[in-house]
Chain A
């Protein structure tokens, strides 16, 4: 690829091919956006992805696109997210949660995670969101206090 002209042609053809392939993929279809079939399904998914995670109580987002699941013993907070036609999971430790905010039934988790810095999820109703915001906040503060070194 020493000839600049060949180089430009290769790059242009590649760009056109990429666009064409993605459009063809969209046109053909055949994938289904991921949705969680319930808290149990989300817990199973976490168990598959995070070996040793012991799911406790959980809550599902109103659109079934996310779930929060406490770990028994309270060491980690499980998170399952539908992304495209797949699910992504995290077993969050307290130090990985920067802040939790709530507006009505919508919870926002600010994470120390380069690829998922901010998770916004709407729960079924406001009281459920308030309860889980409290639980998540308690999880971060209590466990941080447990981990704090004595003065």
Chain B
């Protein structure tokens, strides 16, 4: 077994250097925005994520060591296996990420990453503290190991995927050449993913290859006439790392305690974020439907107005 390096560990000095460069560029050009409280919170979340990975990571390692004996094939460490594992891992990442946005149990963890109203390289490091406890690695991390890719290789390509995703958290890069935008996840595509504009909600789940979103109907391009507004539907208004980390977990506990039936418990726990028994809260689906209705009503009014103007002989613009 080759001794694979830890790509994230190696990338940390590059991350720091790029954040410094983006800060200076932001100050000089105004093309990106940093605020110290937000930056501190994002970096503290990243630090806590590293610590929790060390403290809780053994849960996932233990699982993969156990699982390896049930692998269908013995693929080994050939170069093509790394390439294949990287692509398949990105495919699994797409689905894991999609479920992280649509199942509240996993959203409670992932919401941390979306909780900044800024979008800069420090946002990439705003990561949750309790991920291993959500057991997402069992549901989504097991497939490649069961196929027969060595766990160390799966961990390696997974880390490469995360390293790739660091640099796309920026407003500095507008768009890249069309062939790259067509295939790869880029800053433009990922800005859409972090935006709360109804048009952009729950879109562009890709890690490295944006083609998954195009294949599964979740792709939305960034529009020049609709700047991204970053954050979450109900922004937090705090930079306290503990509150950032725990707020959605607390929400689940509170809601489950108030549930009147087992189906309500399930809805609050595993339903989409914003689910409520009477539909009185705002889930992404409800927000998008309300927005679409308002757009349609607005378009109808515009049409009626232009019809009136035509009838009155007002020249069209």
A residues contacting B by CB (< 8 A) are 1, 7, 10-11, 13-15, 17-18, 21-22, 24-26, 28-31, 48-52, 81, 83-86, 88-90, 93, 114-116
A24–B229 CA distance with the chains assembled, in angstroms: 25
Complex contact A114–B34 (CB within 8 A): no
Interface centre among B19, B26, B35 (most CB of A within 10 A): B35
Can you offer 10 A-B residue contacts whose CB atoms are under 8 A?
Answer: A17-B16, A25-B23, A28-B27, A31-B36, A48-B229, A81-B237, A86-B231, A93-B280, A114-B246, A115-B247
B310 within 8 A of A: no
A47–B135 CA distance with the chains assembled, in angstroms: 38
A26–B35 CA distance with the chains assembled, in angstroms: 8
B residues contacting A by CB (< 8 A) are 6, 9, 12, 16, 19-20, 23-24, 26-27, 30, 33-40, 43-44, 47, 50-51, 54, 117-118, 122, 196, 198, 229, 231, 233-239, 243, 246-247, 250-251, 280, 282, 287, 290-291, 294
> Which residues of A have CB within 8 Å of B30?
30
Besides the contacts A25-B36, A28-B24, A50-B282, what 20 more A-B pairs have beta carbons closer than 8 Å?
A: A7-B54, A10-B9, A10-B50, A14-B12, A17-B12, A21-B23, A21-B43, A21-B122, A22-B40, A25-B35, A28-B23, A30-B26, A30-B33, A31-B33, A49-B233, A52-B294, A84-B38, A86-B35, A86-B231, A114-B243
A-B interface pairs (CB < 8 A), number: 102
* Chain A residue, CB-CB nearest to B53: A1
> Which residues of B have CB within 8 Å of A17?
12, 16, 43
Q: Shortest 10 CB-CB distances between A and B: which pairs?
A: A88-B237, A86-B117, A18-B43, A115-B236, A30-B27, A25-B36, A31-B35, A28-B27, A22-B40, A83-B237
Chain B contact residues: helix, strand, loop or mixed = helix
CB-contact partner of A24 in B9, B20, B231, under 8 A: B20
CB-contact partner of A51 in B33, B39, B287, under 8 A: B287
> Which residues of A have CB within 8 Å of B247?
114-115
Complex contact B34–A30 (CB within 8 A): yes
Min CB–CB distance A103 → chain B (angstroms): 22
A7–B53 CA distance with the chains assembled, in angstroms: 12
Complex contact B26–A10 (CB within 8 A): no
Complex contact B16–A90 (CB within 8 A): no
Complex contact A52–B290 (CB within 8 A): yes
A10–B11 CA distance with the chains assembled, in angstroms: 12
Min CB–CB distance A80 → chain B (angstroms): 11
A50–B233 CA distance with the chains assembled, in angstroms: 8
> Which residues of A have CB within 8 Å of B235?
49, 86, 88-89
